[in-house]
Structure 1
Amino acid sequence: MTDAAAGRAAFLLELRARGIQDVRVLRALESVPREAFTPHRYQDLARRHLALPLRCGQTLPEPWLTARMIEALSLSPEHRALEIGTGSGYAAALMARLSARVLTIERFQTLAVEAAARLREQGAANVRVLWDDGLVAGPLAGPFDRILVEGALAEPPDALVAALAPDGVMVMARPERGAPLRRRIVRLTRGAGGLDMTSICPCRLQPIVPGRSRLL
């Protein structure tokens, strides 16, 4: 076994050890090279379970957290998916392997341009990257079967709820009650009576900032 193959095997074993069970998600994680979405200076850490710095003060989350959030979406090949907070484009590339189409929205133009280039290089033709404020832009191209918010919000914005299809699922982070500095990933399912919430796992995702950045 080559060093690269051994590294991929260890990467997947660690994901399984951390509770990732969906075979389709694991296959996507195996086939999408995280190093292609990691800044050059940190590429030797791409297969480690570490959060890594991006430009514009943003962060590429730990692989297990990205995997857990995508697993919670329960993506199917016919789904249309929306991601808020493109970052490096890694999660969008994974979602592209699991769904029909992905719209990913990034508030920083620099990150949006770079992510779009990476996604093209990886052949993710079913992903569209948009530079905009995702907290208000979602309904423009909805409805979406699945929505992934790469950050923490006290409550899901009305615009994103309106963009969610019936029986659709939104995954996001939110502060824990009574402990606003502690956050958890939650799965919100849209039913006839509103949104049903299921707690997934603790996380350290930062709050999402509204508005489109005009400086970076």
Structure 2
Amino acid sequence: MASEADESDGLAEGLAHATGNAAFVLSLRERGVRDTAVLRAMERVPRERFAPPGLLAYARQDIALPLACGQTMSAPSVVAAMLGALDVRPGARVLEVGTGTGYVTALLVRLGAVHVRSVERYDGLARAARQNLGRDLNDATVEVADGLAQEAVRGETFDRILINGSLEALPPHLPAALASGGRLVAGLWTGRASRLLTLARDGAAAFARTEGVVLRLGPLTPGRALAPSRTA
């Protein structure tokens, strides 16, 4: 049986964790994040679970974190803006391009996606994401492939498509893979900055396009990485 000291330590640790989560969400509110579902998901999915081991102290700060292979873990406010625009509904089938360490994948699951197919070009990052996701893999798959290639779609349709990075132009097969009523969200490089791009499919071939706020997003590189990558 656990001693009273062990129970006290456990309660203190739980309280500190809850307090830290509340402060994290409050900081996002102060930065203009208002989507209640997104905030709730970010409160329940600890970012430190997906952050590089040497940077855990910065996991609850609103900054991008460097990853292996020259990639980055986007700042929480950027992630929140993209997820708010994506408007994930319970039961949605989602294609995610750019898994990273799996943080956004876990948030998509928490938001109610019935399945997330996440595609990552770096084998090392994909392995780390699978490990980080743990039980959330029941509702997600992480594949190593070029997420920008037509082969990544495999003839499927999706309710939501999230591109975790910035592109100068969207490959046309990605919007075409949206189901009727579906949404695609990405960063669009304008030559000076990346802006939040949202495409909403209204019918068979009708798309409503919206360009929103400036985002600090890294560029997405096409192609699958040729050599196995390391995560450290």
TM range (shorter): over 0.9
1:189 aligns with 2:203: no
Which structure 2 residue ranges, 5 or more long, are not aligned?
1-11
Distance in 2, matches of 1:29 and 1:125, equals: 19
Deviation at 1:206, TM superposition (A): 2.1
User: What is the SS of the residue equivalent to 1:206?
Assistant: coil
1:204 aligns with 2:202: no
Where in structure 2 are the equivalents of 1:118-137 lying within 5 Å? 118-120=132-134, 122-136=135-149, 137=151
Over 6 Å off, 4+ runs: none
Deviation at 1:141, TM superposition (A): 5.8
Percent sequence identity over matched residues? 41
User: What is the SS of the residue equivalent to 1:201?
Assistant: strand
Q: TM-score, normalised by structure 2?
A: 0.87
User: What is the SS of the residue equivalent to 1:123?
Assistant: helix
Counterpart among 122, 126, 130 of residue 108 in structure 1: 122
Which is strand-richer, 1 or 2?
1
Contact 1:133 1:211 in 2 (8 A): yes
Query: Cα–Cα, structure 1 residues 23 and 141, in superposed 2: closer, same or farther, change >3 Å?
Result: farther
**Which structure has the larger Rg over C-alpha atoms?**
2
Which structure 1 residue ranges, 5 or more long, are not aligned?
none
| 1:17 partner letter | E
Q: Mean alpha-carbon deviation: is it higher for 38-47 or for 159-168?
A: 159-168
Contact 2:71 2:218 in 1 (8 A): no
Where in structure 2 are the equivalents of 1:20-35 lying within 5 Å? 20-35=33-48
* Structure 1 partner of 2:106: 93
| 1:159 partner letter | H
Aligned length: 212
Query: Cα–Cα, structure 1 residues 153 and 194, in superposed 2: closer, same or farther, change >3 Å?
Result: farther
* Structure 2 partner of 1:174: 188
Counterpart among 155, 158, 161 of residue 169 in structure 2: 155
Where in structure 2 are the equivalents of 1:65-76 lying within 5 Å? 65-76=78-89
Contact 2:72 2:218 in 1 (8 A): no
Q: Deviations over 1:84-125 (max 9, x none)?
A: 0000100000001111110000000110111011111x5341
| 2:171 partner letter | P
Q: Deviations over 1:176-216 (max 9, x none)?
A: 3xxx0311111111233532211231112122111100112
Distance in 2, matches of 1:141 and 1:26, equals: 33
